[in-house]
Structure 1
Amino acid sequence: MKSKCEWCSRTNLEQTADSVFWELPDGSRAIEIAATPTYRCPDCDMSYQSEVVVKEIENHLYLIDCKQIGKVITFDELMEIPRLLKKNYFDFSS
């Protein structure tokens, strides 16, 4: 089964990588996360990240020392930063 675009519901999605801009959990600044897994729909020209990727970024940013992140970091580099805690104890969704 092909994935459907969350905006136009067509099944012509492309998987790509793109930059996203994210505010750190403490609100101190925003960073650019380059090469983030992204869906792009050529039919409606929307680009977006899956809910899984968004949750992965959010959780990881809560669990690492964000002071060591510069203005720009790749998705893979971000995910390689060692966590200070095993899990996000503030996430009650699961």
Structure 2
Amino acid sequence: MTADGKTCEWCGSGVTDSVTTVYWELPDGTRSIEIHDVPGILCGSCGMEYQDEEVIMDIEDQLMLMDTKAIPKSVDFKELLQMPKFLKKNYFRF
């Protein structure tokens, strides 16, 4: 499936949507977690696979707003975003 009108941030070629596993360091630096089924972008030309800014912000905000001790070593993206939060929004994002 094509990422409508998007081009690779590295080489400028056309990209496709993908789903991947990523590894993320928790905000407190105590450990990293494995996140499955994360929406991403794949470049068939240079081979780069990455997440767009909106997905990155969703993950980072969720990790800033919740009890990270409750996160297992491995979690599904949708499951992570549905975990309970301490705050309603990230007040550090301007």
Question: Normalising by structure 2, what TM-score?
Answer: 0.92
Aligned to 2:48: 46
Gaps of 5+ in 1: none
Deviation at 1:89, TM superposition (A): 1.3
Distance 2:79 2:18 in 1: 17
Distance 2:82 2:57 in 1: 16
Aligned to 1:2: 5
Over the aligned positions, Cα root-mean-square deviation in angstroms equals 1.0
* Structure 1 residues 2-54: Cα deviation after superposition (integer angstroms, max 9, x where no partner): 1111111112x111110111110111100011111110011111100001111
Gaps of 5+ in 2: none
**Shift >2 Å, 4+ stretches:** none
Residue aligned with 1:26, SS: coil
The structure richer in strand per residue is 2
Question: Normalising by structure 1, what TM-score?
Answer: 0.92
Residue aligned with 1:27, SS: coil
Distance 1:3 1:83 in 2: 32
Which letter maps to 1:38?
A: G
Number of matched pairs:
91
Aligned to 1:30: 32
